[in-house]
Chains A and B, each alone.
Chain A
């Protein structure tokens, strides 16, 4: 392959910023010189649920270097109900107003000359509380004696939540129902049923880069530089918060040092904007590592579920009661509840399915988006159940799954057909990789070995909008304007590859502009693995428009019909006619350095699911299909699990950059190992107990598998750019159940609570004896 082709679609061009990221040469938001600014620190609630009687700030205000102290009541005076923001429900104030709903909630903000002063002053603030009955967990919340919010307040973002406005006396802010056939009757009539009570705890994203927002007012406009995956969303939120036209809000970004959903929607931005606007100062808001643990979490989720087969071994019923603990604020929990609830039966042909999926408020730190968007929690349920059912039927868990997996064109339980979702190919690939069909030395003494597989399915966020603007410079380099945020996934690199492939140019000559709402066009969000497909399609289209433009100019210049002109790496060609792009553009404008500009849009569509049945013939634009295989060794004396080989496969449609796809699969698998064996946020009476990098046990490099094999599966999507789809989440879906299924295979115990701690394994072994 020629070097230039390595920079096109299918080439494993190194990501353009690798050296900068590794050497710390990329300036992230927190590295930017901020100039004269008020540094902000936050006083946080000490009570899980309490009415705020008074906030005493005089002592803090009197400290040298303190510019001001702002409370929720102060902001409410200026902003009214606009203080409450959020993607699904307008329920979260930038600073607690009237009551606090979790330990650690921001109550007052100190603006000071430097961060140390601001932080010291937060200790000089004290609050009088009137304690309210706390809602510590799902059981408390569903008992319905105390309510985290007096009434539900749907935001204007999602029209389908409108009917929930003003509903009182509940902690359930959203319910999704799936009803296909009669699942209860089919379960009761079925020959074999397995059931489980599954639990996946709340976890934290732990990106390396901490969040930071700098906001200021310039010429009556609110401008900010912030760590966000969702610049277009933040612009809208800030415009709503301050009651400004969108043209008077500017959100700019830098590359993120990881995010995984942690830097989405309303994080530090509403507070920074409100403070900058009301104080008329440049403000810098940041968070310590310990504070970052409180900003957002992954939903803890309880799933009570069953799976039933008839006498012939056909799957006849799937029933699941799913409860997502969304904490004090809904964030995007309702969306997670629906999108994950609809795949709770798993990627199988099942005649009858019933899912009740609920999003539940508790007095805990708010849960929001997290790589996988709630799907790993239900995958934990369905992949444990089908494994157990295979054991009960005396069937091979791999073969049993394979028999029932959805194929191309099959309709999933929620009514949408499968396309470009090669579950079978993924499952076969991981089974082969870990040696499923080879003899296994299971061990006879203390160390016992086993193997497990799991399959995952997830829908891409739909509908969403992507836009792209391309400027082709006279020297045949280009500037691509999109609002996708590169947080390490490599989007800036692959978007350039897509454009360059169309334009037959070197993708290294394309600069992707960092999202800046003054310059780059609207894009729904960088999340949910949607960018390669959606923004990638917009980029493909904008490049095609540019190609057509070049060909048009060349045809004019050559005096031939456009159909006769082709674009080559050396420029347009038609028979004996040839010209370089540089000459062509120069000739057109008569100037050096001029640019040609094109723009394009890509918008996906869906059919909203039916309220009663949860069904839709097109609930999503496309599917993610993945599988995980694990070969593990259990130390029966300590209960420790050692992963000898982990294989993770994802159907990406077509790999724009195979190396980056493999890295996404591996990275997701490693994060999944954390959720399987290590990660959990421990809360005791609403208080986070282990919110530090020492106490929160992320896996270390020495806990990784002896062998980790990412496998790219390609079944091209008809409408994807070059057939491609995203891959950011695919790898994480099935990791925990694959490992737990391998534990089941090794030592015969079925665990239903994550993480699989050593003592949970040894205690289960003792009970089994």
Chain B
């Protein structure tokens, strides 16, 4: 690990000031991702601003009936929070599907939002990677790419976004609140992460010194919801495919649907095309299939990840089918 300056920030103002004063600084919260990357020399910040003691750990109800979640809330604590468990069970399911218990005890909401890909070539400095070192190439395209993305990729990057939590947040229309020395602003989650295009090293729309302070969830919908994750082993494994879905059926017709995918794209993937096809359609197997097909039509596969298209289709259909059944029982 390279030497770095260390600033322990007592409050948000100090934290964002320190980051503004030291270009290339990184905020350190749970450290579960950043420290790994620093040990691998993938991240080489000159300054680390420790934000782990900032008072951003509360969960509050908003006036509109939603929740505001402090960015330093630990993943475990958020998953267990009564208001999250009861009103946003899909989020609790997604959190508990991620990482391991030890990591969830350390990892924070803000850090999870900014988690970087687990593409093995991103971590391996001996191989080319446009995300790690722009302009060097991509070893994954012709390499071991079983876990890589099929949607939203570009010629320069096929890495997936690794988070489970973000997939649920995407489906829930979360809004991220950020702060820097100039003030605060709100970013819909859908606009937080970028697609790789020609600049896979730019992963979010945040300025380097902007700090995520909270995440706001709109009021919960009554519709049944679920987070479903398909992976190799049953814990401590990234999603091959995951689906966050909420489905409201009225008189046999889809009145409202929220659908987001994980493990298949460079960002938490809101399945807008599938939602468009489904809304107003009969809540049938055929509709679910058509929706999945519409979403996956633009999929581009590599040698090792062809299976993900069919796996995503089946997982989407199975999840919607289960939700439709659950809704009809209620």
Contact = CB atoms under 8 A, between A and B. Distances in A.
Partners in one complex: yes
B227 to A, nearest CB: 16
Contacts of B41: 123
A695 B118 contact: yes
A700 B124 CA distance: 25
A708 to B, nearest CB: 16
A754 B139 CA distance: 25
Contact of A103 (B126, B236, B314): B126
Given A694-B236, A700-B235, A758-B232, A684 B144 contact: yes
A100 to B, nearest CB: 13
A762 B309 CA distance: 12
A613 interface: no
Nearest to B103: A694
A757 B307 CA distance: 11
Contacts of B314: 637-638
A690 B118 contact: no
Nearest to A691: B120
Nearest to B318: A637
Contacts of A698: 233
A697 interface: yes
Contacts of A694: 118, 236
A638 B313 CA distance: 11
A380 interface: no
Nearest to A47: B126
A698 B146 CA distance: 17
Contacts of A123: 41
Size band of the interface chain B makes with A: 20 to 34
B125 to A, nearest CB: 9
Contact of A638 (B120, B146, B234, B311): B311
Contact of A689 (B143, B232, B233, B234): B143
A700 B236 contact: yes
B118 A702 contact: no
Given A700-B235, A702-B234, A689 B120 contact: yes
**A contact patch SS:** loop
B144 A689 contact: yes
A762 B237 contact: no
B61 interface: no
B310 interface: yes
B230 interface: yes
Interface string B222-254: 000000001011111100100000000000000
Interface in B78-127: 118, 120-121, 124, 126-127
Contacts of A700: 233-237
A763 interface: yes
Interface string A115-135: 000001001000000000000
Given A684-B144, A689-B144, A763 B307 contact: yes
A759 B120 contact: no
A569 interface: no
A265 interface: no
A181 interface: no
A697 B237 CA distance: 8
- Of B118, B139, B307, B314, chain A has the most CB atoms within 10 Å of the CB of B307
A547 B144 CA distance: 63
A682 B233 contact: no
Interface in B238-284: 240
A96 B318 CA distance: 54
Contacts of A314: none
Contacts of A757: 232
A759 B236 contact: no
Contacts of B143: 684-685, 689
A678 interface: yes
Contacts of A759: 146, 307, 311
A759 B302 CA distance: 14
Nearest to B99: A694
Contacts of B124: 687, 689
Contacts of A65: none
Nearest to A682: B144
Contacts of A685: 143
A595 interface: no
Contacts of B118: 694-695
Interface in A519-577: none
6 contacts: A46-B126, A639-B307, A694-B118, A694-B236, A695-B118, A758-B311
Interface of A: 46, 103, 120, 123, 637-640, 678, 682, 684-685, 687, 689-690, 694-695, 697-703, 757-759, 762-763
5 closest A-B pairs by CB = A759-B307, A702-B234, A700-B235, A684-B143, A689-B120
